[in-house]
Amino acid sequence: MSSIPLDYETLRLIWWALLGILLIGFAVMGGRDLGVGALLPFVARTDAERRVLINVVGPTWEGNQVWLVLGGGAIFAAFPPLYAVSFSGFYLAMIVILLALILRPVGFKFRGKVTDPRWRSTWDWALFIGGFVPSLIFGVAVGNVLLGAPFYLDDTLRTFYSGNFFQLLMPFALLSGLVSLGMIVLQGAAVIAGRTSGILADRARTYGTWAGLATIVLFALGGLWVAFGMDGYVITSVVDTNGAINPLGKTVELVPGGWVSNYALYPWMIIAPVLGFLGLVGGVLGLQARLRLPTLLASSLAIFGIIATAGLSLFPFLLPSSVVPDSSLTLWDASSSHLTLFIMLLATLIFLPLVVAYTAWVFRVMRGTVTTQSLEKNPNAY
């Protein structure tokens, strides 16, 4: 491995950061579509208005799913034990998310095939479910990661999961789900307000403002809960950051306020929750001031700050075990090999900039205000 210019520890840190970037990328880009879907039945109240909202995200939603695929692929290739435990243990939750996500392409394609109002209303609610459910459950999943998942490893590193779907719906996890839903709705409102006009934009500003204010309160409540009402996981043994994959080679304990210990060790991490609050406040103020691009940037900053807060609080844990804490998966003992991470990094340095460049070009081409008049002139509109 001496020929690899980056040591194992550095590559592990890079891939931990890249995984966070990919997940944030999906929340920001995919959050545009999820947020618009969650707001669809409330902001748009006529068929013409709903067509406008659908066509705001219709041309770009498929490309935004690339970030979700990249995130899942990064977990599979860079952190195989995390993929094995999370995708098998949270299987039912994953199925619910998948089914909800499937409703979106079907809704986009099928809604306009029949002019019957009942047909279109059915698919409108399908699009709502496709936006609301993933936004909520993704947050619930993050909450459960902070609580710890009920799994353990035996001496041969086989995984045993002892939980069920309904155990995921703990109060703190539901609170995390509401934070996720609120920030995604704010993102959707920023998109609608920025790309529509008149009553649609006004309604989006109203719902977005309430979502932003609620998320500020919920995010603060979640922070207080983590700091003072929840035990966090802490590694109490010596950590070999260049060691081989062996999640059982450490000692982990639950301690009060354990999840905020990183902010004492690395004071710079406080910037994450600060950015989260600043983004939420900026998004609300931007909606009220009718600022288009600044509002969208602020809501995207809020998503970055909120997700980064969770990731930095967990560091170096990827998935703690609530049953046998020593079985918890961490950055240092649940990654792929040194060579695998390096080869993946080279591929990422080539293809990720291409994805970003293409995405930027598509959004530049599709920019502008969507109106009922513009849809009448476009034979390819949904």
Q: What's the pLDDT score for residue 332?
A: 93
Q: What share of the chain is helix, strand, coil (3-state, %, to 5)?
A: 70, 5, 20
Indicate the average pLDDT of the chain.
Answer: 91
Q: What's the pLDDT score for residue 157?
A: 84
Confirm whether 333 is domain-assigned: yes
Q: pLDDT tens-digit profile of 278-329?
A: 999 999 999 999 999 999 999 999 999 999 999 999 999 999 999 999 999 9
Confirm whether 251 is domain-assigned: yes
Residue 172 and residue 140 in contact, taking contact as beta carbons nearer than 8 Å: no
Q: pLDDT tens-digit profile of 58-82?
A: 888 888 888 888 898 899 999 999 9
Burial of residue 110, with CB atoms counted within 10 A of its CB: 0-12 exposed, 13-18 middle, 19 or more buried: middle
Q: pLDDT tens-digit profile of 166-218?
A: 788 899 999 999 999 999 999 999 999 999 989 999 999 999 999 999 999 99
Confirm whether 216 is domain-assigned: yes
The whole-angstrom separation of Cα 362 and Cα 54 is 17
Confirm whether 381 is domain-assigned: no
Q: Looking up tokens 């804490």, which residue turns up? A: 325
The residues, any chain, with a CB within 8 Å of residue 29's CB and separated by 6 or more, are 64, 67, 359
Confirm whether 382 is domain-assigned: no
Mean pLDDT of 145-151: 92
Q: How many structural domains is the chain composed of?
A: 1
Q: pLDDT tens-digit profile of 12-43?
A: 999 999 999 999 999 999 889 999 999 999 99
2 pLDDT above the threshold of 60: no
Confirm whether 2 is domain-assigned: no
Q: pLDDT tens-digit profile of 218-241?
A: 999 999 999 999 999 999 998 888
Per-residue confidence band for 91, with pLDDT thresholds at 50, 70 and 90: confident
Sign of the torsion formed by the C-alpha atoms of 243, 246, 250 and 254: positive
* Range(s) of the domain holding residue 199: 8-376
Confirm whether 1 is domain-assigned: no
Half-sphere exposure of 108 (CA within 13 A, CB side): 22
